[in-house]
Amino acid sequence: MKKLITIILILAMLLPAAAMAVTGDSPFFGRWIAQKHGSTGTCDAILYYLNITKYKESAYFEFWLKEGGSYSSPGIEKQEMYDGNWEIVDSHIQIPTSPITYIEVFYDKDTDTLYTDEWPKLTFVRIP
């Protein structure tokens, strides 16, 4: 009986440690922002916002900004928002941007930035 209680106590102590090892501390976690490289078409800038948490949750926002001019006022022309669960793939993660699409995000440890290889070409910087 004493051995059973001892084993149960050891397992109870190891389970929280195992849960912490699974979540870990990754450089991907945090809030990030990027501006689209290249042509933006009918708007002045397209901004992307990512929030990646250690609990496998992510939030993705895309804002099409118009700065305005002499004939128009500034504002947001279009926006997209989606939250979901990120997934680990090899050395990068996939962030869902809709129920059926995603972007693959890589981490650059030299500059502490995230980047994408496919269109849209983005370089995310960390928001303090």
What domains can you pick out in the chain, each with its CATH number? 28-126 (2.40.128.500)
**Within 13 Å of residue 43, how many CA atoms lie on the same side as its CB?**
17
Give pLDDT tens digits for 58-93: 999 998 888 777 677 788 777 888 999 999 888 889
Separation of alpha carbons 123 and 80, rounded Å: 18
pLDDT, greater one: 77 or 10: 77
Banded pLDDT at 18 (limits 50, 70, 90): very low
Does 14 have pLDDT greater than 70?
no
Separation of alpha carbons 56 and 75, rounded Å: 32
Average of per-residue pLDDT across 98-114: 92
Which residues lie closer than 8 Å to 34 by C-beta, 6 or more apart? 47, 48, 50, 114, 122, 123, 124, 125
Q: Which pTM value belongs to this model? A: 0.74
Average of per-residue pLDDT across 30-48: 81
At 91 the pLDDT is 85
| Contacts of the segment 4-11: beta carbons below 8 A, 24+ positions apart | none
